[in-house]
């Protein structure tokens, strides 16, 4: 048996899904910039003139990241933000019933490898 998963409907996009996906991509871009530049959270925090706990919260997924904060965090790693708008392409898809939420969750410490400092 298959389970229908609503990522978005072309005519009625699920805005919350789009918002959360954009936030996850932004956080991943920052994490990847830190990894590529070899800079730890404590150094990013120092360069941003923030506490290390702020950077940790920013990357945790529980922080509503602002564009200014994203720009500042990427600048601390030697990158700049570039945005690109694209049409919504996701739609209702069928997911095998055997895939659980736990299995589809991003494993701790793993980030989206194909994302760069340019949001696409």
Q: Domain map of the chain by residue range?
A: 2-84
Asked if 28 and 59 count as a contact pair (C-beta separation under 8 A), the reply is no
Quick one: average pLDDT of 45-49?
96
Q: How does pLDDT run across 24-44, given as a tens digit for each residue?
A: 999 999 999 999 999 999 999
Asked if 88 and 13 count as a contact pair (C-beta separation under 8 A), the reply is yes
Question: CA-CA distance, 37 to 110, in Å (whole number)?
Answer: 17
Which helix (H) or strand (E) covers residue 52, if one does?
helix 52-60
Q: How does pLDDT run across 92-118, given as a tens digit for each residue?
A: 444 555 555 444 444 444 444 444 444
Fold category of 2-84 in CATH: 434 Repressor (Amino-terminal Domain) (1.10.260)
Q: What is the pTM of this model?
A: 0.64
Q: How confident is the model at residue 61 (pLDDT cuts 50, 70, 90)?
A: confident
For the chain, how big is the Rg over CA atoms in Å?
A: 16
* Nearby residues of 81 by Cβ (< 8 Å), 6 or more positions away: 67, 70, 71, 74, 117, 119
| DSSP for residue 108 | T
């Amino acid at each position: 048996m298959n389970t229908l998963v609503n990522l978005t409907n072309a005519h009625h996009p699920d805005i919350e899904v789009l918002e959360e996906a954009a936030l996850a991509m932004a956080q991943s871009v920052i994490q990847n910039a830190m990894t590529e530049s070899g800079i730890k959270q404590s150094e990013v925090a120092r360069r941003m003139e923030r506490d290390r706990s702020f950077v940790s919260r920013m990357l945790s997924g529980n922080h509503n990241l602002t564009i200014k904060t994203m720009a500042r965090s990427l600048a601390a790693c030697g990158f700049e933000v570039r945005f690109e708008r694209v049409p919504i392409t996701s739609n209702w898809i069928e997911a095998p019933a055997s895939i659980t939420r736990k299995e589809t969750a991003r494993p701790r410490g793993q980030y989206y490898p194909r994302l760069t400092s340019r949001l696409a």
